[in-house]
Structure 1
Amino acid sequence: MLWLRALHIIFVVCWFAGLFYLPRIFVYYAASEHPETRAQLAIMSRKLYRFVTPFMVLTIIFGVSLISLNVDYYLSATWLWLKLAGVAFLVVYHVQCGRYVNRINADEDHHTHVFYRFFNEIPVLFLFAIVFLVVLKPF
């Protein structure tokens, strides 16, 4: 069980590293006026998205594995349902990042760097909420 928990935490950290850095690339892309720089940032965003997507999948696999060890407890825990709702939102956020990556690589994205600066803060809020739920187990 501990090795499952360790792997879950490792892949959460890896996934969040991508969720934190990918939107920063979007900010730099939107703020740049140089076509060469924008092209390089587009490539970086595509490669990073492809790199971190498996971490999301592995995070979910190991999380479900942990739940399966004590299904009755976990499925009756309100904190877990709130955590799972947060994770579901982060999966949607991840998919939206993929849409932005595709639009950036097709040179069809017209969001401002200010938009992406706000977009970049979303996973931070969810990280705080999820960690507090897991550690404090309220309700």
Structure 2
Amino acid sequence: MTDFLIFLYPWTKALHIMVVIAWMAGLFYLPRLFVYHAEKGEVAELSATFEVMELRLLRAIMNPAMIATWLFGLALVFTPGLVDWTAVWPWTKGAAVLAMTWFHHWLGRRRKAFAEGNNQLSGRHYRMMNEVPTVLMIIIVISVVVRF
């Protein structure tokens, strides 16, 4: 099995990078949609449009990209010789990926609140939350590239 993972390493790494980009795009865009929805969603037609956009983004792009990111990421973790578990970087990256996954699920709960007409958060709150994936991305990239 490990020889197979070593053989597939370039493909696994390439696919992992592609699906991470797709996931990050969604993590950046969905909170921005929530900003507009919270600020302009009192108009029924706009609210319905935002709800369709949010649902499709989450279900068609973000969920599959998150799952694929985890699958290819775990394949990389189990590829022999790639991860030095005595270093700090795999732990900081792992913690940031877990936080990003939590944020993804938080966004999913916020989408449901909008769909049920129960959103209690302001556009300003969503603007601030829109910075979370950026901070996590910085931690992940520095962890993997610098490997401290």
- Say whether the fold is shared (TM-score over 0.5): yes
Aligned-partner residue type, residue 37 of structure 1: L
Output one character per residue of 1:26-67: Cα deviation in whole Å (capped at 9) or x when no partner.
000001032211111011111111121110010011011011
User: 1:117 and 2:105 equivalent?
Assistant: no
Match of 2:29 in 1: 21
Q: Does residue 6 of structure 1 match 2:14?
A: yes
Task: Give the equivalent residue in structure 1 for 2:51.
Answer: 42
Compute the RMSD of aligned alpha carbons.
Answer: 1.3
- Residue 121 to residue 72, structure 1, CA distance change in 2 (3 Å): closer
Give 1:73 shift.
3.8
Aligned positions, number: 138
- Give how far 1:14 is off: 0.4
Structure 1 residue 8, shift from structure 2 partner: 0.5
Structure 1, unmatched stretches of 5+, are: none
Judging by fraction of residues, say which structure has more helix: 1
The answer on whether the counterparts of 1:86 and 1:126 sit within 8 Å (CA) in structure 2 is yes
TM-score between both structures, scaled by the size of structure 1: 0.94
Asked whether the 8 Å contact 2:28–2:130 carries over to 1, the reply is yes
> Retained in 2: the 8 A contact 1:43–1:105?
no
Equivalent residue number for residue 118 of structure 2 = 108
Tell me if the contact between 1:7 and 1:62 (Cα under 8 Å) persists in the aligned partners: yes
Whether contact under 8 Å (1:45, 1:101) holds in the other structure is yes
Q: Cα offset for 1:72? A: 8.1
User: Is 1:8–1:59's contact at 8 Å kept on the other side of the alignment?
Assistant: yes
- Corresponding letter in the other structure for 2:145: V
Change in Cα spacing, 1:72 to 1:128, as seen in structure 2 (3 Å) is closer
Q: Look at both structures and tell me which one has the larger radius of gyration over its CA atoms.
A: 2
* Alignment match, 2:38: 30
Return the match for 1:64 from 74, 77, 80: 74
Give the Cα separation in 2 of the matches to 1:21 and 1:72.
32
